């Protein structure tokens, strides 16, 4: 493949600390392969187009397609193949993200974990300036834990979430739209879609905490007959508890974790967004005709209409600070066009 990567932006000047991005693709049989492949390709081409000054490693769980791995390598991505599923993935597949925490690099590098339903719009290099001992993530878009379940969980595990009050992103938007005060949550609960780990030994300690709490949350769910994904947010409950135990926690700037509710508000200009976390919803993919389910652009268009455009059109104009959603959509399409990606069919496992 011809090297079409944009010239890398100069790396941020730091005290010899740099960022390394990691993401993961689950290629096991029985997984929704076309949707996950579309997501992985959107993540890969936007990184290569706009953010390649920060290295990206993609870990593939299960058997990999050689053509897909070669495509990623040609983009400049470090590909790790045939990664074993995480043991906790039997109860919630999202626990495979803990594979991204293995092989912690030296203290001069920090891992930025990103779900593969994120897209890059500019470099994340400036995150290297953040204090090296901080765990950084964003609060969740909606409440995942019923208060009674949260109280029972923390009591049984003799643990607590990181102290702090927060308002879920969806709640903030709908409360304003409905003219009411938002419901405030206590005890920080993070979305695991974009997480900046501390560096070196602190990262290794956090990995142990997240893994240990993952096992305890899994056992709690089994005892209580709870669905890990629906009732506990799977890895996110364990992350929230690990953050509480770790203690040195701060929230990421919206710039590095922009979600659909932020488009509805217009919180940032399009050219201020570095990472957008967009594509988790299944209905836009399932609404596509079968022949379009291998086409990343059609997936993007269906998603954008359902999750961004439609909500914006239903929002009173005086509540929207600015609408740069089209700017962001165009940037993603430009990356697809730049690398001439029209289908992922050849990459199917």
pLDDT of residue 89: 84
Joined tokens for residue 198 = 């501390």
- Specify the residue for token string 């893994």: 211
pTM of the model: 0.92
Mean of the per-residue pLDDT values for the chain? 89
pLDDT of residue 14: 39
Mean pLDDT of 72-97: 90
Task: Establish if 110 belongs to a structural domain.
Answer: yes
Task: Establish if 325 belongs to a structural domain.
Answer: no
CA-to-CA dists, residue 27 to 34, 37, 291, angstroms: 10, 9, 21
Task: Establish if 147 belongs to a structural domain.
Answer: yes
Residue 170, C-beta contacts closer than 8 angstroms, at least 6 positions apart: 141, 142, 261
The sign of the CA dihedral 97, 100, 103, 106 is negative
Task: Establish if 308 belongs to a structural domain.
Answer: no
Task: Establish if 207 belongs to a structural domain.
Answer: yes
Give the domain range for residue 160.
Answer: 18-255
Q: Return the minimum-mean-pLDDT range out of 12-16, 86-90, 253-257, 259-263.
A: 12-16
Q: Return the CATH number at 24.
A: 3.90.550
Task: Establish if 192 belongs to a structural domain.
Answer: yes
As separate numbers, helices (DSSP H) first and strands (DSSP E) second, the chain gives 11, 11
Mean pLDDT of 23-39: 83
How many domains are contained in the chain? 1
Task: Establish if 149 belongs to a structural domain.
Answer: yes
Task: Establish if 330 belongs to a structural domain.
Answer: no
pLDDT band at 13 (very low <50, low <70, confident <90, very high): very low
The sign of the CA dihedral 10, 14, 18, 21 is negative
Residue 291 has pLDDT above 60, yes or no: yes
Mean pLDDT of 48-67: 93
């Amino acid at each position: 493949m011809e090297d079409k990567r944009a010239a890398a932006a100069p790396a941020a000047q730091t005290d010899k600390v740099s960022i390394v991005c990691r993401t993961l693709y689950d290629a096991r049989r029985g997984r929704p392969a076309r949707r996950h492949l579309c997501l992985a390709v959107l993540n890969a081409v936007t990184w290569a187009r706009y953010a390649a000054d920060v290295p990206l490693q993609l870990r593939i769980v299960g058997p990999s397609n050689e053509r897909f791995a070669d495509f990623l390598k040609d983009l400049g991505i470090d590909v790790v193949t045939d990664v074993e599923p995480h043991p906790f993935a039997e109860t919630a597949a999202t626990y495979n993200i803990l594979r991204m925490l293995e092989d912690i690099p030296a203290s001069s590098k920090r891992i930025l974990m990103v779900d593969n339903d994120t897209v890059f719009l500019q470099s994340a290099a400036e995150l290297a300036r953040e204090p090296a001992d901080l765990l950084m993530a964003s609060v969740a878009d909606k409440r995942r834990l019923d208060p009674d379940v949260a109280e029972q969980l923390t009591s049984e595990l003799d643990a607590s979430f990181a102290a702090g009050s927060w308002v879920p992103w969806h709640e903030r938007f709908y409360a304003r739209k409905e003219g009411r005060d938002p419901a405030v949550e206590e005890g920080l609960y993070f979305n695991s879609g974009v997480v900046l780990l501390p560096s070196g030994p602190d990262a290794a300690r956090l990995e142990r905490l997240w893994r240990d709490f993952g096992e305890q949350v899994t056992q709690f769910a089994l005892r209580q007959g709870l669905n890990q994904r629906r009732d506990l947010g799977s890895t996110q409950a364990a992350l929230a508890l690990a953050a509480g135990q770790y203690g040195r926690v701060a929230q990421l700037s919206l710039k590095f974790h922009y979600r659909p509710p932020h488009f509805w508000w217009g919180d940032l200009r399009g050219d201020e967004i570095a990472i957008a976390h967009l594509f988790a919803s299944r209905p836009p993919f399932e609404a596509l005709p079968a022949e379009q389910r291998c086409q990343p652009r059609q997936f993007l268009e269906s998603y954008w209409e359902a999750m961004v455009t439609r909500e914006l059109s239903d929002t009173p104009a005086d509540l929207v600070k600015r609408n740069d959603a089209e700017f962001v959509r165009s940037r993603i399409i430009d990356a697809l066009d730049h690398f001439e990606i029209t289908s992922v069919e050849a990459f199917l496992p």
